[in-house]
Structure 1
Amino acid sequence: AAGFAGWKRTPVQQRAQLIVAMGQALRDDVDNIARMISQEMGK
């Protein structure tokens, strides 16, 4: 809830850029993320 105040004041275009960047970061690290999830699930 505390972060929402700042987020709602962030311009929409900047929010979109941040979300796109986060998506790219996830895609860039997909192998590592998949490995960690598999380890957490015990496989």
Structure 2
Amino acid sequence: MTIEEVRQVLQKVDKKLNEVKVALKVFNKGKSKGKLLTELRKRPLNK
């Protein structure tokens, strides 16, 4: 694996972590499953 490949993988992981953080923030604000599901649907995690 080249350094460039490693960098790309790390960027992908970083993006996923940010999406999860945003989803958690929304979930904690609303404390409702409906809101979390809506947020996840808007932002597919399998990008």
TM-score, normalised with respect to structure 2: 0.46
Larger Rg: 1
Query: Which structure has the higher relative contact order (CA within 8 Å, separation 6+)?
Result: 2
TM-score, normalised with respect to structure 1: 0.49
